[in-house]
């Protein structure tokens, strides 16, 4: 497989302004809604393979995620399916884009944590699996069962698109947007 070509945020911005490329944001929909590059189209990584046929063939495709990992995975998928059509990964993702002082659209992520629901689910489930596995190795075999259950639930969420933990986390106080209080006259 050929090496993944990257593009700097500044070059990507120049190409996008000139209409010379198409930008695809491969993050999850809640991440896109929270904050995205204005000219980006949302196409979560899981749907890239099925939607590549609808992309233009006359311009390079730039894939973008939070920091570059999912963008690289999308480049691999696109390279395998698009043949010689040029695809690029935005080096450093939206984080590098913002670091270069380029504008983004959308509201700030969550109210006070700044962490998307998607990442919060990863943190909670990852911590649960780690602790349950450690408990299993410490002589509590039920820990392995809890780790297996957490993995199963995560797989079901990925396959179905429904995640009870994400719904629960959305209702947590740190994820509820705060309304500005009226100023005293």
**Residue 160: its pLDDT value, please?**
77
Question: Residue 28: inside a domain, yes or no?
Answer: yes
CATH code (residue 65): 3.40.250.10
Question: Residue 184: inside a domain, yes or no?
Answer: no
**Which segments within 65-105 are labelled E, that is strand?**
87-90
Domain that holds residue 44: 6-99
The model's pLDDT over 42-78, given as tens digits with 9 standing for 90+, comes to: 999 888 888 877 787 889 999 999 999 999 999 998 8
The number of CA neighbours under 13 Å toward the Cβ of 27 is 25
Q: Is the pTM of this model over 0.85?
A: no
**Residue 40: its pLDDT value, please?**
93
One of 34, 65, 87, 96 is an active-site residue; which one? 65
Same domain, 95 and 155: no
Same domain, 124 and 164: yes
**Three-state SS for 127?**
helix
Active site annotation includes 65: yes
Is the pLDDT assigned to residue 158 strictly greater than 90?
no
Number of domains making up the chain: 2
Same domain, 42 and 73: yes
Greater model confidence, 3 or 158: 158
105 and 36 Cβ atoms separated by less than 8 Å: yes
User: Per the structure block, which two tokens stand in for 107?
Assistant: 């509201």
User: Per the structure block, which two tokens stand in for 109?
Assistant: 């992520």
When the pLDDT of each residue in the chain is averaged and rounded to a whole number, the result is: 85
142-160 helix and 117-137 helix, angle to the nearest 10 degrees: 160
Return the C-alpha torsion angle 161, 162, 165, 171, nearest 10.
Answer: 110
Question: Residue 63: inside a domain, yes or no?
Answer: yes
């Amino acid at each position: 497989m050929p090496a993944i070509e990257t593009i700097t945020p500044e070059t990507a911005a120049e190409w996008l302004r000139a209409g010379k490329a198409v930008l695809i944001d491969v993050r999850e929909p809640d991440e896109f809604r929270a904050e995205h590059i204005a000219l980006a189209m949302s196409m979560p990584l899981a749907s890239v393979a099925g939607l590549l046929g609808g992309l233009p063939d006359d311009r390079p495709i730039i894939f973008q995620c939070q920091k570059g990992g999912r963008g690289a995975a999308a480049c691999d998928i696109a390279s395998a399916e698009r043949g010689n059509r040029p695809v690029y990964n935005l080096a450093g993702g939206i984080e590098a884009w913002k670091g270069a002082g380029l504008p983004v659209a959308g509201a700030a992520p969550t109210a006070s944590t700044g962490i998307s629901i998607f990442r919060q689910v990863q943190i909670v489930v990852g911590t649960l699996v780690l602790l349950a596995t450690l408990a299993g190795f410490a002589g509590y075999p039920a820990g392995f069962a809890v780790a297996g259950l957490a993995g199963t639930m995560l797989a079901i969420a990925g396959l179905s698109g429904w995640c009870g933990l994400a719904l629960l986390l959305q209702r947590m106080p740190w994820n509820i947007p705060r309304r500005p209080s009226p100023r005293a006259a």
